[in-house]
Amino acid sequence: MSKLERNWQYAEQYPGETDALVRARRLSLELGIEPVSRSVGAYLSGIAALNKAEAIFEVGTGVGVSGLSLLRHLPDATLTSIEIEPEHLREARTIFAEAGIPAARLRLIEGDALHVMPRLNLGAYDLVLLDANTAQLLDYFEHALSIVRPGGCVIVPSAFAHGQVPDPAARDEATQTMRDLLALVADSPAIASMLSPAGDGVLTIVRLDG
């Protein structure tokens, strides 16, 4: 194992999780959902806290691993989260309730994010998480930039697409879509972007003022 691999492994094992997060992660695996890793969950918790996020929007609820991570250090923040699978959303409601998060802080929506996002208020959110269908990622991102406030951020986990993005031989559609997004944000003067190797890669985009 190389030094970089040991570093990555240590970072993945380092974060502690709440009992609710452990339950949500276990349930995700039982249902065949791939949740964000422990290090990415800790990253989400930290970025949300640094951002002092009050209004958070998420595409891809799953059963609540990323949502619980985003709300972990923000006792007054609200989360709007969209999930297309009704079974996953039902489980998420139970997970959030067991974690003691009041229903007033949650807006869980069953449906297609591309039908919902265009109807949201511009600049209404402090943080947007895009953890869903890679094939529609560029469309999600376009809407995300419009609903996040200046100074707010858009976060995209799985930015390495299971290690495919750094592999020049990988040419599948999902990998190319992620590469297109990475190229787009790297060249835009309206945003600041950061790419972290945590988990399967995390892309964070800050919408600049003006």
CATH number at residue 43: 3.40.50.150
**Neighbouring-strand partners of residue 110:** 83
Binning pLDDT at 50, 70 and 90, where does residue 209 land?
confident
19: left (phi over 0), alpha (psi -120 to 50) or beta: alpha
Spell 22-34 as b/e; 16+ CB within 10 A means b.
Answer: ebbbebbeeeebe
Distance of CA 130 to the CA centre of its chain: 5
Provide the number of structural domains found in the chain.
1
Can you tell me which residue has the tokens 């592999």?
167
**pLDDT tens for residues 45-101?**
999 999 999 999 999 999 999 999 999 999 999 999 999 999 999 999 999 999 999
The domain of 82 spans 3-207
130-144: pLDDT as tens digits: 998 888 999 999 999
Which residue would you say has higher pLDDT here, 152 or 4? 152
SS3 128: strand
Section 114-128 average pLDDT: 96
Q: Helices 3-13 and 38-51, interaxial angle, to 10°? A: 70
Evaluate whether 65 touches 25 at the Cβ level (below 8 Å).
yes
Cα-Cα end-to-end distance for the chain:
46
Task: Enter the tokens of residue 40.
Answer: 């990415």
- Residue 108 identity (one-letter amino acid): L
* Mean pLDDT across 7-25: 94
